[in-house]
Each structure stands twice: as C-alpha cells, then as structure tokens.
Amino acid sequence: MKKFIVTAFILFVFGISSASLPLTYAADLTLNNTPARICFSPRGGCTEAIVKEIDGARSEILMEAYSFTSREIASAILKAHKRGVNVEIILDKSNRSARYSSGDFTAHMGIPTYINAAYAIAHNKIMIIDREIVITGSFNFTKAAEEKNAENLLILRNKDLAGIYLTNWVNHKERSEKIPEYEHIKRGNY
C-alpha cells in the first residue's frame, strides 16, 4: 500500500502516467526534465544508489538524517571526505544517546557533524550533493532501512530544487550544535 501511495504521489506531482513506470523496486526516469532514480526497500538497492552518488561527489555533500547507522554510507562519506569533498552532517538528537551512531564515527574522523535538538524530532533524511543532486524519501541511512523496512528513496538531479533544500539545510544547521571530535570517547562508543 505504501509503495502505491508513493507512486501515486509522484505521478500526481510530476504529471506522468503509471504506464511509464517499470514494475521494479528501482527505476530511472525523467520527471519534467529532471533525471530521477526511485528505489524501494527492503532490498531495493537504496543503499547502493546512495553510495554511488556519494562516490561521484566532486565538491560537497550536505546530509541531514534522523538515524544514521549504515556502515556502507558512513564509509563512502569518509572516502569522499578524504578525497577533499566538503562533507557536513546534521543528525537528530537521538543520535547522542544511541548505542551506535555513525555520527560518532564521522565526528571522530574530522567530518563536521552536528546535533539538531531544536525540534521534537529532526526527521529529515536528505543529502544535497554538489548543489545539484537531492536525495530524499523515507529511507533512513541505516542497515534496517535497506534490509527490513518498507522505505522509499528519490534521487533528483535539479539545481533549483537543490537550492531550496540547501536553504532549508542551512537553517537547520544554524539551530544545531557541533559534536566535538572527542565526544565519542566520553560516551564509550569507540
């Protein structure tokens, strides 16, 4: 049912016919001149699609996540950071007390990582890559989202849309507190 609702929403917003969508868990298409990739989990290749976009980043990755425990995504982000891509991450306050959060790992590795405690839940799941790619959807950046949950992921290549998401990301960063690089040691997570 969730897949149908998401598909119906996409069809409505972008004015496309359902006959043009393949009946798979991942699809590539163009929506009003905006190249898009759509993935559904479990096991729909969402993590792989995210890692592929991170691997292709040239200058910047801005991420905002409710939950962040995916080792594959964290590893790809670290590789991007090491090759000179500017990476910054905003996480929900639940990551402060989580038994494991990749936010601890990224902060320890020198990637600016912030906690947004300004809201009951900072529930966004987005990445803005090179100010032209937006990754969004219900998909948490977790192993469970890929393997167990019914989730959706949308990757859109559109500079105007990325600009809108960038403005929102900056507003959330201004309400966030940076995780010191040593905080993971105090909590005993590493």
- pLDDT digit string (tens) for 1-60? 444 444 444 544 454 444 444 333 566 777 778 888 999 989 889 999 999 999 999 999
- Answer for the pair 103, 74: CB distance below 8 angstroms, yes or no: no
Q: Rounded to the nearest 10 degrees, how much is the dihedral formed by the CA atoms of 63, 113, 163, 118?
A: 100
- Per the prediction, the chain carries an average pLDDT of 82
Look up the CATH superfamily of 47-187.
Answer: Endonuclease Chain A (3.30.870.10)
| Active-site entry in 81, 92, 104, 125 | 125
Active site residue 160: no
Catalytic annotation present for 186? no
Domain boundaries, the chain: 47-187
- Catalytically annotated residue among 79, 93, 130, 178: 130
Is 130 one of the annotated active-site residues of the chain? yes
Q: Which of 52, 123, 148, 159 is catalytic?
A: 123
Residues 140/130, Cβ–Cβ less than 8 Å:
no
For the chain, the DSSP string reads -HHHHHHHHHHHHHT--GGGS-SSSEEEEEETTEEEEEEEESSSSHHHHHHHHHHT-SSEEEEEES-B--HHHHHHHHHHHHTT-EEEEEEETHHHH-SS-HHHHHHHTT--EEEE-SSS-----EEEETTTEEEEES--BSHHHHHTS-EEEEEEE-HHHHHHHHHHHHHHHHTEEEPPTTHHHHHT--
pTM assigned to the model: 0.79
pLDDT (average), residues 174-188: 68
Angle, helices 46-55/71-82, rounded to nearest 10 degrees: 0
Beta-bridge partners for 41: 151
Q: Could you report how far apart the first and last alpha carbons of the chain are, in Å?
A: 40
Question: From the centroid of its chain, how far is CA 64?
Answer: 6
Render pLDDT for 56-88 as a digit per residue (tens, 0 to 9). Answer: 999 999 999 998 889 999 999 999 999 999 999
- For 119-157, give the DSSP string: SS-----EEEETTTEEEEES--BSHHHHHTS-EEEEEEE
Percent of all residues in the chain with a pLDDT value above 90, rounded to a whole number: 57
